[in-house]
A and B are shown apart, each in its own frame.
Chain A
Amino acid sequence: MPFEIETIAQRFRRIAPAGLDHAALRVVEEHSHMARVRQDVAEPGERSLDRGAMVTVLAGDGIGYAATSDLTDYGLRAALERAALWARLSRGRSVFEAAPALPNASGRYSTATAKPLVLSAADRLDLLMRESKACRIDERIVDWEASLWTVRSRQMTAGIDGSETLQEYDFTIPALHVVAHADGLTQTRSWGGRYNGYCQQGGLEVIERSGFVGCGRTTAEDALQLLAAPNCPSGRFDLLLMPDQMMLQIHESIGHPLELDRILGDERNYAGTSFVTLDMFGSYQYGSQLLNVSYDPTRSEQFASFAFDDEGSRASRELLIRDGVLLRPLGGAISQQRAARARSELPAVATARSCSWNRPPIDRMSNLNVEPGTSKLAEMIASIDDGILMKTNASWSIDDSRNKFQFGCEWGQRIRSGQLAEVVRNPNYRGVSATFWRSLAMVGDASTVEVMGTPYCGKGEPNQAIRVGHASPACRFDGVDVFGAER
């Protein structure tokens, strides 16, 4: 049955049995289209239509969920009964010490798409084929692939209390990567990151502003440069991270540690806990005074912008870290209520989200950004006597408390006496979150900012991979432990 906005909320409220403390419906419908060209050959085109609903029922401190792809009255009724069973069974045995209160916002959101992407399957392949063919510049280029992934998503929530939201999104995700090989050495260079780092809301304008057109040849040239480059040196260096690595640095060592459900222990069996504790908010010096981090669901082109989270809270931009001081965690209404019982009121943000209709909301990052500073990129380079510029994440690993990290990049470039010098391959660095951000020495201005993200932020049991946005300027860190590869 098609997702009929006009009727499904009414049907749900009519079906819901009387006497429930609370019941809510969340319907998700996603159309996606993936086109890929590898080595100038079109890979199988993939379309999908995924549609279903999650029902939530509260009974005292009990909570229950049931997900179904059957949106008929029969399907919704069965889901309601199952969710009610779980709510009843968990009553008195839940982590909530009192009945959780869910928000009841109503309203609408839609992506501010300037140019709807209405390319046919053949047109998409033409676009990708042009970039693919441009990669074929040297016999040492041994593999390459260009892709375009678009998603049209609609999500509706309806509570038996009359609350109702409708949010509609357009996501556009172009990508390309190239592999070069010679003399036993292999180097990969990607445009936008190997795992779809260039991802935004919008239509054709995303491709236009991304610089995707023309990226095939330049990416292939980069790959050949890496092949000829010396290995990254080891030692302590000043480090200039470009936005396509900063997004990973923010994600792993600020975003995840600030998730309130991690702090409350929900993730300890899987994604992990956090070195951040509830008592740190309001006083903990997370980074240098140059560090300002925002949760910003209002930036229209960013990947995880929305008006309401999946618990129904209205979303607004908030600073999580101001002048280096930790202010707020990333946590939705339910987590905030749990945290408030452990300490006094804790201001958080509306960011409980689910990856699709078949998973319940948990605390996520959404758009998590480092605010721009005042430094021009040229000034940042000129300020470094002996350092390394790194860009485009290639490897990432961090401990379960989100402290000891080790990250690698595709591209490195030495900085000597304030000048960019030779390219180096296999650049890596390691550090500890609790001290790394205090070494933040310069923050690039708005001209250095890029808006990126990931479609694959994973956590939760059952697992959820969700869309997250990160905007960041270039940033300079002092005295970082850097190293290269074996060859």
Chain B
Amino acid sequence: MKDLFFELADYAFGQLHGSEVLLANFSGEQSDFIRFNHARVRQPMTVRQAHLSLQLIDGRRHEDTTLSISGNAEDDRAAIRVAIEAMRDDLPALPEDPYLLYSQAADASHTDRRGRLPAPEEAIDTLAREGAGLDMVGILASGPVSRGFASSQGARHWHAVESFLLDWSVYAGGDKAVKASHAGQQWDRDEVARRIDATRAQLPLLSRAPRTIEPGAYRAYVCPAAIDELLWMLNWGGVSAKAQRTQQSTIQDLVEGRAAMSAQISLREHFAGGLAPAFDEAGFTRPATVELVDAGRHAGSLVSPRTAQEYGIETNGASEDESMQSMELAPGTLARADALRALDTGVYVGNFHYLNWSDRSAARVTGLTRFATYWVENGRIVAPLTVMRFDDSLYRMLGSELESLDDQADWILNSGTYGGRSVETSRVPGALLKELRLTL
């Protein structure tokens, strides 16, 4: 898709008049998805899609148009011409934008990370064979995902990654299940089989009679997948500089020094460790890391070019919504193998589900336990736990009630596919909490 993008971008630049500037962003993928239920195929498909976003700028006036790209040069060029002409017609009547900021550098970058991905035959064979006898449900996604940026001022950036993600659950009965995901760039059928076997091994525990507990405060070990869910909440107006400048951040107290997290908490955006491109939609190159929380204290924010211009601060390559794309929480000292023993008696949380802010000013989050969540006594799993709602603040869960973090962090590829496959990743440890508040 790289040639397609740059050929269309060059064609678009050729349509410019006078002082006009054009920024072109590209997003494309060719994905195979196999959706399965009861280890049988529900919806297998291929999605070939590409979108080109054009931003026409003249002075401080500008407008954006996004087009789906067919790959047929004649059709695509015609659509580009129509789009540029429509924007050109609009511009004189639009007000000047005081917050417009884009890179004027004629720089370039190129990333092309090839992988070995399963053909449709192998993918379906693997799922059918390894899932045989299991109530297995989920999705396998694989294929290349690409992003590009070019400007009429000479910038040319390209980022393409081939990857797969198998995201699945194995049910023991009712709502009792274990969930896992396996992502990478090198498909290895034996490794997939081993991972599915590992989920199969938890079924005897999940088949035990479930334990129901009363609402209250409990010791808890929270697995990396659940910590991951919790931390992504900070993308919802938490680490955004704009949210912080307008007093809307859910961690405003942390930002303004009225609250702190545990000294064990160090959170950063680490592009070098993820799959997201190293450039943003305005053409700025992203730094390798942006420190957000350092030893429990606010250390930085994600600043988009627009926010930078509005508030007179430096951009750090954040996307328009100022959300993390390659999140990392530093590990701690608790040996993962000792987690149950350290928990002693309490709740082992496999995953959290359906999180939302219950009190934004207090950074309080509510959600449910889900998947492989157990009641533990004396360091041994006793029974799966009936679904419980928690409602607790980040300042407690990642602050006063945080006993320790795992000494290792799991790398997780976001399974989100709204619009297209996500390139967001995270690296997070599990956490042992002295207390987690369960409310229903």
Contacts and interface: CB of A to CB of B under 8 A. Distances in A.
16 contacts: A42-B95, A45-B63, A47-B66, A67-B46, A86-B120, A120-B93, A269-B139, A269-B169, A359-B47, A398-B368, A404-B389, A428-B358, A430-B440, A461-B35, A461-B417, A485-B358
A42 B93 CA distance: 12
Given A64-B45, A461-B35, A42 B418 contact: no
Contact of B98 (A41, A45, A188, A404): A41
Contacts, number: 262
Nearest to A47: B65
Nearest to B357: A395
Nearest to A359: B47
B333 interface: no
A42 B139 contact: no
Contacts of A67: 45-49
Interface string A140-156: 00110000000000000
A396 B83 contact: no
Given A143-B248, A398-B354, A486 B64 contact: no
Contacts of B75: 1, 71-72
A16 B200 CA distance: 42
Interface residues of B, number: 89
B311 to A, nearest CB: 12
Interface stretch (B9-17, B36-44, B271-279): B36-44
Contacts of B45: 64-67, 83, 86, 360
Contacts of A65: 43-46
B413 interface: no
A63 B44 contact: yes
B139 A186 contact: no
B417 A462 contact: yes
Nearest to B57: A44
B305 to A, nearest CB: 11
Given A69-B48, A268-B177, A273-B175, A400 B354 contact: yes
A185 interface: yes
A430 B439 contact: yes
Interface in B362-380: 362, 364, 366-368, 370
A477 to B, nearest CB: 16
Interface string A47-90: 11111100000000011111111111011000100110110011
Contacts of A46: 63-66
Interface residues of A, number: 83
B97 A430 contact: no
Interface of B: 31, 33, 35-38, 40-51, 55, 62-72, 75, 79, 83, 86-87, 90, 93-95, 97-99, 120-121, 124, 128, 137-139, 141, 167-169, 171, 175, 177, 179, 246-248, 252, 258, 353-362, 364, 366-368, 370, 387, 389, 391, 393, 415-419, 421, 439-440
A181 interface: yes
Given A184-B258, A430-B389, 15 more contacts: A44-B63, A46-B63, A50-B66, A66-B46, A66-B47, A79-B46, A83-B45, A89-B124, A95-B36, A360-B45, A395-B357, A399-B368, A400-B368, A463-B416, A485-B362
A397 interface: yes
A312 to B, nearest CB: 17
Nearest to B359: A485
Contact of B139 (A82, A432, A462): A462
Given A268-B137, A358-B47, A485-B359, A400 B37 contact: no
B70 A401 contact: no
A120 B138 CA distance: 45
Nearest to B99: A41
Interface in A304-361: 358-360
A408 interface: yes
Contacts of A465: 418-419
A401 B175 contact: yes
A65 B41 CA distance: 12
B247 A181 contact: yes
Nearest to B42: A95
Interface string A147-181: 00000000000000000000000000000000101
Interface in A444-469: 458, 461-465
Contacts of A41: 95, 97-99
Interface in A16-59: 41-42, 44-52
Interface string A396-419: 111111011010100000000000
